[in-house]
Amino acid sequence: MTGDTGEKRKRGFPVALVVWLCAAGLVIGVIYWAASAGLLSWENAVGMRTAAQAFVDQNTFLAYAAYIALFVALAVALFPAQLWIIVIGAMLFGFWPALIVSWLAAVGSAGLVFTLARGVLAGQYRERASKYLARVEQAFQRDQFSWMLAVRFIPVVPYCISNVAPAFLGARLRPFLAAAAAGVLPYLTAYTFAGAQTASVLDADAPPDLARIAGTLFPVMLATAALPLVALAVRRWGLRRPAG
């Protein structure tokens, strides 16, 4: 059986690689075509930002509801695109409204995925998470809460799997939600700030130079780079706590 699994992995890896290469080639091709056709320009980016902002201003409740629905749908589908959604939300809503609504969406979707992993979608989720469960089980059982907290910062498993794995490893819902509520805040803050700063760049009267863009986004890059250090501190604190 082990041999069959190894053969399946060997057969599956090239297929996955080809799929990713094709997807990357398609994205690069579309970007090249858009740039050649003049669709990728400062004026177009500012125009789309202005139109989107006008829609949000006129349909605030609908915009928030659609944002949360999209966030939750991607989480339930285990589709790893939430970070880009957070950036876009910050560009549309501003820093503080986006941070609050993204936090509510992240915690709510995490709880929903956790519940579904123990219910109607258990089979599908277990199949997606199976290759990670054995690898992280020992660390999880050593200190469940600090693991669930730290995994939000360190890519031990993909973000979408971090909502599923604890359900199969014996976590309880309340500690899971507490870890999710605290653990998502640092990266939510970093990516929300990135989106808000990007919006401020697009609101400028003229295209900024590279030095200004780098200076604007440097705090975001610094904060993102520091997140693994926060996770390491959390894990060490968890390991040093007295048992019980």
At 1 the pLDDT is 46
Residue 148 structure tokens: 């669930």
At 139 the pLDDT is 85
Residue 174 structure tokens: 């309340």
At 70 the pLDDT is 93
Residue 133 structure tokens: 């469960």
Is residue 220 a contact partner of residue 193, using CB atoms and an 8 Å limit?
yes
Is residue 162 a contact partner of residue 151, using CB atoms and an 8 Å limit?
yes
At 89 the pLDDT is 94
At 12 the pLDDT is 42
Q: Mean pLDDT over all residues of the chain?
A: 80
**Spatial distance between the Cα atoms of 44 and 42, rounded to a whole number of angstroms:** 6
Per-residue pLDDT band for 33 (boundaries 50, 70, 90) equals confident
* Residue 72 in this model has a pLDDT that exceeds 90: yes
Over the stretch 121-160, which tens digit does the pLDDT of each residue have? 999 999 888 888 988 888 898 888 888 887 887 767 888 8
Beta strands (DSSP E) in the chain are none
**Spatial distance between the Cα atoms of 151 and 158, rounded to a whole number of angstroms:** 9
At 220 the pLDDT is 66
Over the stretch 1-21, which tens digit does the pLDDT of each residue have? 444 444 444 444 455 556 667
Question: For the chain, what are the domain ranges?
Answer: 1-40, 41-240
* Residue 234 in this model has a pLDDT that exceeds 60: no
Over the stretch 91-121, which tens digit does the pLDDT of each residue have? 999 999 999 999 999 999 999 999 999 999 9
* pLDDT-above-70 percentage for the chain: 70
In the chain, the amino acid numbered 196 is A
